[in-house]
Amino acid sequence: MDLVALGYSYSRIIHDYYVKNWKDEMGSSKLTIAKRAVLAYAETTKVQKNVDPVFKIPPDEGDYDEAAKQWAHQIDKFFSPYETVKLPYSFGDYLVMALDEEYRKQCLIELDRKRKTIVGDVRPEQGDMFNSVQATIKETAEAISHLVKLAPGGLGDDSEQDLLRGRQELLEAIAAMRGGLAQLDNELTRRDIDIL
């Protein structure tokens, strides 16, 4: 089924793969996926002053499985058409990364296709500077946040998944900056100003 052609939103695409993953008898359970996502989210956001209280982490790791029931319930309520529950900003990214690899890859492909249908094939130099600035702020903030997580102890103690995610975050930040640079260069060229 082509979710993008059906007009699915980003959250519906994530929901579809989340459900497929835990319904697969070989896949991780709903509680395992929720636990992975929430713990990764909490680890990344712990430096922030006001971490969203929706996913409170118990002080004792032995209580994580019990807490995962509440976390999974909260995620289900978010996806329910009958609820008005909100999840923390960017939590969907953590939910996608918590999926088993085959579902995560498929979900990322669908999300990228969705982004391309929304953004279209606008050449970077013809984009909007305000949007470029917003994208640069978002992407660099995400890259810096992830790199701060990798920094303590050097890179030798980080997982391959964390290193690959850090690399992806940096590439996305670089791409956002290149879009703004292309727009500036285009405007300077239009004004017949030489760029050194």
Would you place residue 95 in the very low, low, confident or very high pLDDT band (cuts 50, 70, 90)? very high
Q: In this prediction, what percent of the chain has a pLDDT beyond 90?
A: 30
Both 111 and 129 in one domain: the answer is: no
pLDDT digits (tens, 9 = 90+) for 111-130: 888 877 765 555 666 667 77
Most confident of 28-32, 77-81, 171-175: 28-32
111 compared with 46, residue with greater pLDDT: 111
Whether 15 and 107 map to the same domain: the answer is: yes
Q: Is the pLDDT of residue 91 over 70?
A: yes
Mean pLDDT (whole number) for 158-186 = 83
Whether residues 64 and 87 fall in one domain: yes
CB proximity list for 74: less than 8 A, separation 6 or greater: 54, 55, 85, 87
Give 24 or 2, the one with higher predicted confidence.
24
The angle, 0 to 180 degrees and rounded to 10, between the axes of the packed helices 91-98 and 30-45 is: 130
Q: Indicate whether 11 and 46 sit together in one domain.
A: yes
Nearest CA among 42, 35, 120 for reference residue 88: 42
Mean pLDDT score of the chain: 83
Mean pLDDT of 139-162: 83
Q: Are residues 179 and 88 in the same domain?
A: no
Q: Are residues 97 and 9 in the same domain?
A: yes
Claim to verify: residue 117 and residue 150 sit in the same structural domain: no
Instruction: Say if CB 139 and CB 176 are below 8 A apart.
Output: yes
Identify which has the larger pLDDT, 1 or 76. 76
CA distance 123 to 186: 11
Do 187 and 154 contact (CB within 8 A), yes or no?
Answer: no
From 121, 140, 169, give the residue that closes a domain. 121
Output DSSP code: residue 63. G
Are 188 and 100 in the same domain? Answer: no
Do 60 and 48 share a domain, yes or no? yes
pLDDT grade for 87, boundaries at 50, 70 and 90: confident
Total number of domains in the chain? 2
Do 161 and 180 lie in one domain? The reply is: yes
Q: Domain containing 186: what range?
A: 123-196
Model pLDDT, residue 48: 53
Tokens of 194: 């030489």
Q: The whole model's pTM is what?
A: 0.58
